[in-house]
Amino acid sequence: MAEHLLPESLRERRPVRILVIGAGGSGSQVFLGLPYLNQALRAWGHRDGLDVTLMDGDNVSETNCVRQPFSVSDIGLNKAFVLVNRVNLFWGLEWKSVPHPFSRTGNDFNNYACDIVFGCVDTRAARREIHKAVTDPYCRVGYWLDLGNNAASGQYVLGQPSNGRNRRSATRLRTISELYPEIIDAAAGEDPLPSCSAIEALERQEPYINQVLAAGSLAMLARLLHYGRLTHHGAFFNAATAQMSAVPVDPMLWRKTRRRSLASRPKAA
């Protein structure tokens, strides 16, 4: 079985810089789990741990208090601001919040010089924006870890975008947009937006899907940063069948997956 090895740039004595885009269902769970990874890295001898930024332009609504880690006292406040303040106060950290949506044309993204981008967005257009940013020839992002889900299933995929930091290679981890190009095809239409009704929101997305995906992605990242190697770079989860299927580090499988994905796309009229 093929293995992916952690690049030397992430073995240096400095904080691992992480940008989490989206503070909703998945993004909030990822962000709340990152302090535990920070603690684990320090215990393993990585004294600088993590340097994390959380970005989201949305404010907390009443419906968000059903599936997301917000309370009625948070309603009207920016999601990223609420979560970062909470984590910093509890853990004694100095992580940062950015209270506006991600945009590849803004100066913020280049200023972060992040090693790992967590993409926790729920539209094809938003994923396309991230894809374009991390694949820019001048971009220095090392990894793009995308999380996505529907009502009862979801996936997380870790990839190395083809950019100024990641050289072209047969063993470079393929990103979610390379394996499944339809995921950034905004012309294919979007899934229904979250409902203002708590009951409708729960019917469209079952509880705990986000927690499972966040925990799985963080466990995978922890293994990569601690052991320096991976034999899988993602997984698919189905809550209805309780099945978790890993995405192996396998260049031949990557080619087959992309071909199948492209072949299944509807032909233009």
Q: What is the pLDDT of residues 129-146, one digit of tens each?
A: 999 999 999 889 999 999
**269 lies in some domain:** no
**118 lies in some domain:** yes
Contact between residue 233 and residue 251 where contact means Cβ atoms under 8 Å apart: no
pTM for the full predicted model = 0.92
Q: Could you tell me how far CA 56 lies from the centroid of its own chain?
A: 13
**Residue 193 sits in which domain range?**
12-263
Least confident segment among 97-106, 165-174, 177-186, 237-246: 97-106
pLDDT tens digits, 37-72? 999 999 999 999 999 999 999 999 999 998 899 999
**162 lies in some domain:** yes
**57 lies in some domain:** yes
pLDDT tens digits, 8-41? 989 888 999 999 999 999 999 999 999 999 999 9
**7 lies in some domain:** no
**58 lies in some domain:** yes
**27 lies in some domain:** yes
- Cα separation, 69 vs 214, in Å, equals 14
C-alpha dist (Å) from residue 67 to 33, 198, 210: 16, 9, 9
- Cα separation, 120 vs 31, in Å, equals 10
CATH number of domain containing 256: 3.40.50.720
**268 lies in some domain:** no
Number of domains into which the chain is organized:
1
- Cα separation, 174 vs 163, in Å, equals 12
